[in-house]
Amino acid sequence: MLAKRLIPCLDVADGRVKKGVNFVNLTDVGDPVEIAAAYQQQGADELVFLDISATNEQRRTMADLVEEVSAQVFMPLTIGGGISRVDDMQRILKAGADKVAINSAAVANPALIKAGAEKFGNQCIVVAIDTAWDEDAKMYRVYTHGGKKATDLDALDWAQQAVALGAGELLVTSMDRDGTKAGFDLNLYQALGEVVAVPLIASGGAGNLADFVEVFDQAPVDGALAASVFHYGELTISQVKQALAAKGVIVR
């Protein structure tokens, strides 16, 4: 049985780490290189680095910043934001990323998933899905452009399509829970676990130790991603790992 992964997330805009609630009202948290190095010290299993303004600003991810971060950390690094071509993937992987995360570009051009998987291997391609529950449509609706644009896609259908095209991992963020510290959306991950068999990363809603225990205990996820609780020092990676181990969850 594989060890569960704890993954801090750095949302970066204008070269700084930012954090908001429900994808809005972003506040400055600090320097991405310093924060990445601190998570390396704490024993994080992986680091996700999302250039959250790249897609809306129609520019590519900052490869130089990726190089700086990868020089500081020796854990797997997943980079996303503004990656819309295979060339972009190559540039980011060359800069030190282990995996690339694609979201808006994958929705706009699903063939990008297949092209990336064929060139770099499925394990390198993470499809990130931002979703919120739509009560009228009775589905988890997919959003793009940093949560700003609603699509007609059902997250469960899109997850299956992404995996069929070659996604090796899905990073699924509940926009309803993002930054709220109200706990992970267990229903979402349970539903996803019934339709896909690739590793699932849960994102959005981590607020306390019990939330991490609960998501690993009650949903078929391989990793839990969090930002606020780690950035603001409310929890450390080691505290969460100790709590998980005490409940019988296998951690590194």
Nearest CA among 147, 153, 140 for reference residue 186: 140
The Cα 92–Cα 73 span in angstroms is 15
> ∠ CA 219-184-192 to the nearest 5 degrees?
45
Task: Find the catalytic residue in 51, 88, 130, 185.
Answer: 130
130 is catalytic: yes
Place of tokens 């049985």: 1
Nearest CA among 73, 23, 26, 16 for reference residue 47: 73
178 is catalytic: no
Q: Which residues pair with 134 in a beta bridge?
A: 139
Longest Cα pair distance anywhere in the chain, in angstroms?
Answer: 47
- CB-CB contact of 83 with 120 (8 Å): no
Task: Find the catalytic residue in 11, 45, 51, 185.
Answer: 11
Active centre residues (catalytic): 11, 130
